[in-house]
Amino acid sequence: MNKQIVKLKSIIAPSFHQVHRDIKKGLYTHHWLKGGRGSTKSSFISIEIIFNMMKDSKQGKVTNAVIFRRVKDTLRGSVFEQMLWAIEKLKCESEWEVNYSPLKLTYKPLGTVILFKGADNPLKMKSIKVAKGYIKYIWYEEVDEFEGYDKIRNINQSLMRGGPKFCVFYSFNPPESQRNWANMEVLETRKDKLVHHSNYLGVPREWLGKQFILEAEHLKKVNHLKYEHDYLGAVTGTGGEVFTNVTIRKITDEEIASFDRVHRGLDFGYASDPLHYTVNHYDKTRRRLYIFYEIHKAGMSNSSAVETIKQENKSNNRIVADSAEPRTIAEFKKLGLKIIGAKKGPDSVEHGVKFLQDLEEIIIDKERCPNTAREFLGYELEKDKEGNFKAEFPDKNNHSIDSIRYSLEDEMKAKKWLV
């Protein structure tokens, strides 16, 4: 590296110090960095890529980087300038060659490169090659603008080859809607994935400037919800969220052992639609629902589903299932389950959802029930052609919600709700 010594703490915000240490230790492959305006997440990523590529070269590792935006035309004025900023901050301008057509940065001592690509031409994704070493660093800036994680997964599968270790960054300002794929993706857990949230409050005020702080404080006064979204990076919603009483947290084994009002429900799968089995506890006094077990799988045979359910329901306690499938219920009974059909009344979906909305709190353990968490958080009213919310609840991506409605049949009857 350049002889001029730069203390990283002087150019990395305190909110990212631990992330830097995690990257240094190689703890994670996938780094999802989300946050509001002024959080410096893009600045942090650009510094990490430049710094670590140069560090790799000192250790005899030949590594390259590729940086993506959804649209190619946005590269020049965003991530390319951001990388030039990082080079300047690290005081290593003499070690990098800058090319504007095509956009490329070359580390002179080794000949390794940073490439800039738009994802709007998928045919070119598989043709990305480097002359030396392998592509270790990948950055998807404004990742929520991409069409979905499936497309990103395809790009990763093409690029993440030929090396022992990879470091992928995904940065974005969370969209308002929880249903947005990027907001849902950060809820999914895996051992090699870090999810980090930041905002401008974790950045030295002098870095942001007086005017930035004034604008933020003004918006906080006149439109607090907009402030939370824009500056704090909060998922504030679109106004169409069905369940605003959901809490995502770990439900401990000790809590589960104390539950004495446990319910089980089953929504049958059809073709590609998944079967969903739920186990939950209803605290009637405090009007809290604890959801702590699920089976969520498409393509299960009836016998396989029954055997899987029996592994959880060892005492063969009652299960309330979708009564629209009496033949399936009969077969499940023959296979040994104590199962009945839900007694549906008129407007049963509306009544059941409103019962759930009326609860003080719906607590979901997303480690145990990731699909339940995804469906409850993403369940939103749809809009008509004029942009107004439709009156009825959508009948899709609600397998867990249906199974929970069935499971709570008796509780709803006690409150004179209909399943």
Q: What is the pLDDT of residues 299-325, one digit of tens each?
A: 999 999 999 999 999 999 999 999 988
One domain, residues 201 and 317: no
Q: How high is the pLDDT of residue 187?
A: 86
Per residue in 114-136, pLDDT (tens digit) is 999 999 876 677 779 999 999 99
Whether the per-residue pLDDT at 1 is higher than 90: the answer is: no
One domain, residues 83 and 209: yes
Last residue of a domain, one of 198, 218, 238: 218
Q: Is residue 393 one of the residues assigned to a domain?
A: yes
- Catalytic residue, candidates 48, 142, 294, 411: 142
Whether the per-residue pLDDT at 217 is higher than 90: the answer is: yes
* C-alpha distances in Å from residue 372, one per residue of 79, 86, 147, 224, 350: 36, 41, 23, 30, 19
| Total count of domains within the chain | 2
CATH number, domain containing residue 22:
3.40.50.300
One domain, residues 69 and 214: yes
Q: Is residue 2 one of the residues assigned to a domain?
A: no
- Please tell me which residue, 391 or 345, carries the higher pLDDT value: 391
One domain, residues 297 and 391: yes
Whether the per-residue pLDDT at 404 is higher than 90: the answer is: yes
Average pLDDT of the chain is: 93
Sheet of 167-172: strand order equals 96-100, 103-107, 112-118, 63-69, 134-141, 167-172, 30-35, 193-198
One domain, residues 212 and 318: no
Last residue of a domain, one of 218, 238, 261: 218
The mean pLDDT value for 229-258 works out to 93
One domain, residues 103 and 172: yes
One domain, residues 152 and 94: yes
What is d(CA 118, CA 124) in angstroms, rounded to the nearest whole number?
A: 9
Q: Is residue 329 one of the residues assigned to a domain?
A: yes
One domain, residues 197 and 76: yes
414 by Cβ neighbours in 10 Å (0-12 / 13-18 / 19+) ranks as exposed
The mean pLDDT value for 202-207 works out to 97
Tracing tokens 């590609």 back to the chain, one arrives at 272
CATH number, domain containing residue 329:
3.30.420.280
- Contact assessment for residue 275 and residue 308, using Cβ atoms and an 8 Å cutoff: no
Per residue in 45-68, pLDDT (tens digit) is 999 999 999 999 999 999 999 999
Q: How high is the pLDDT of residue 2?
A: 46
One domain, residues 200 and 267: no
Q: How high is the pLDDT of residue 419?
A: 46
What is d(CA 37, CA 172) in angstroms, rounded to the nearest whole number?
A: 10
Q: What angle do CA 113, 116, 121 make, to 5 degrees?
A: 130
What is d(CA 50, CA 46) in angstroms, rounded to the nearest whole number?
A: 6
Q: Is residue 230 one of the residues assigned to a domain?
A: no
Whether the per-residue pLDDT at 357 is higher than 70: the answer is: yes
If you write DSSP's letter for every residue of 99-137 in order, what string do you get? Answer: EETTEEEEETTTTEEEEEEETT-GGGGGG---SSSEEEE
Q: Is residue 137 one of the residues assigned to a domain?
A: yes
Q: How high is the pLDDT of residue 178?
A: 86
What is d(CA 181, CA 150) in angstroms, rounded to the nearest whole number?
A: 10
Q: What percent of the chain has pLDDT over 90?
A: 81
One domain, residues 286 and 144: no
Q: How high is the pLDDT of residue 121?
A: 72
Q: Is residue 364 one of the residues assigned to a domain?
A: yes
One domain, residues 214 and 257: no
Q: How high is the pLDDT of residue 4?
A: 62
122 CB neighbour count, 10 Å cutoff: 11
Q: How high is the pLDDT of residue 414?
A: 67
Q: How high is the pLDDT of residue 122?
A: 65
The mean pLDDT value for 228-255 works out to 93
Whether the per-residue pLDDT at 333 is higher than 60: the answer is: yes
One domain, residues 298 and 359: yes
Q: How high is the pLDDT of residue 416?
A: 58
The mean pLDDT value for 232-249 works out to 91
The mean pLDDT value for 331-346 works out to 91
Annotated active-site residue 392? The verdict is no
Q: Is residue 161 one of the residues assigned to a domain?
A: yes
Last residue of a domain, one of 200, 218, 236: 218
Q: What percent of the chain has pLDDT over 70?
A: 97
Q: How high is the pLDDT of residue 349?
A: 86
Residues in the chain: 419
Give the pLDDT band of residue 415 (cuts 50, 70, 90): low
Q: Is residue 26 one of the residues assigned to a domain?
A: yes
Domain that holds residue 197: 8-218
The mean pLDDT value for 343-370 works out to 90
The mean pLDDT value for 133-159 works out to 95
What is d(CA 349, CA 352) in angstroms, rounded to the nearest whole number?
A: 5
| Residue 12: DSSP 8-state | S
Whether the per-residue pLDDT at 378 is higher than 60: the answer is: yes
